[in-house]
Amino acid sequence: MPSRHEEKYIITYQQYARLKARALGVLTPDANAKDGSYVITSLYFDDPLDSALYEKLDGLGEHSKFRIRTYDYNQRVIKLERKDKNGIITHKLDAPITREQIPLINGSATPLSEFSGGAYDLAAQIQAGGYQPSVVVRYRRDAFTFCGSDLRLTFDTQMEAITADSEALFDPNFHGLPVFDANTVIMEIKYGDHLPSFIRKLTQTETKQLSVSKYALCREALK
């Protein structure tokens, strides 16, 4: 996947309702969403020094994170990902894995013969770095796209921080700590080289860009 820009904003629920109404007039809801939204659950990894956490908390512009991600608890679509970020520029590598492979993905000296292709490369990086599961991040997402472009506009609500357990990827009965109150929404604008001016106008708010990641917010919530 090519690099893209990723801007994040914390907005109120009232702003979300207004911006979503605007988006429905010009953008297309994500075709994968059921009833307009879907649940994303991600199991994140960190090394023994918690480098991914402290690089973000210390404000370093360049950092990487490994995670396993599911959508609506579906075990037929499981992605192993590495997300690299430099400022608002992001690049993501991902590969499909199976539920049975998840226990093999950690910083221990487990055999990697069960993996191939991109999944092998990512699992090998996790093992070489001594990465272990650190937290589960879950939220509900409304997503919109613009025909003929790589633009994505998303709104994330109901974010939870859950103790690192891979079963939470598939079981909605795993609950953690709410990270925000019900009035808080995270808006993300993702695009390639250029953001159309009408999208900038459509998404204009009085709030500033969010510099802390969902991962860091959830790690801090569980302390």
Which string of b and e fits 42-72 if b means at least 16 CB within 10 Å? bbbbbbeeebbbebbeeeeeebbbbbbbbbb
What was the pLDDT predicted at 35? 81
User: Which residues 6+ apart lie within 8 Å of 66 measured at CB?
Assistant: 44, 45, 52, 80, 81, 82, 122, 125, 126, 131
The residue behind tokens 């226990």 is 103
| C-beta of residue 42 within 8 angstroms of C-beta of residue 134 | no
Structure tokens at 54: 């402290």
pLDDT by residue, tens only, the chain of 223 residues = 679 999 999 999 999 999 999 999 999 999 888 888 999 999 999 999 999 999 888 777 788 999 999 999 999 999 999 999 998 899 999 999 999 999 999 988 888 999 999 999 999 999 999 999 999 999 999 999 998 788 999 999 999 999 999 999 999 999 999 999 999 999 999 999 889 899 999 998 888 887 779 999 999 999 8
CA distance 106 to 129: 9
Q: What is the CATH number of the domain that holds 68?
A: 3.20.100.30
The pLDDT value given to residue 1: 63
By residue range, what is the domain housing residue 160? 4-221
For residue 115, give both structure tokens.
């993996």
Please count the structural domains in the chain.
1
CA-closest candidate to residue 1, choices 125, 95, 64: 95
Nearest alpha-carbon partner for 77 in 68, 86, 85: 68
CB–CB of 41/69 below 8 Å?
Answer: yes
Per residue in 47-88, pLDDT (tens digit) is 999 999 998 887 777 889 999 999 999 999 999 999 999 988
- Report the predicted TM-score, pTM, of the whole model to 2 decimal places: 0.94
Please work out, in degrees rounded to the nearest 5, the angle formed at the alpha carbon of residue 126 by the alpha carbons of 99 and 95. 50
Residue-level pLDDT at 36: 84
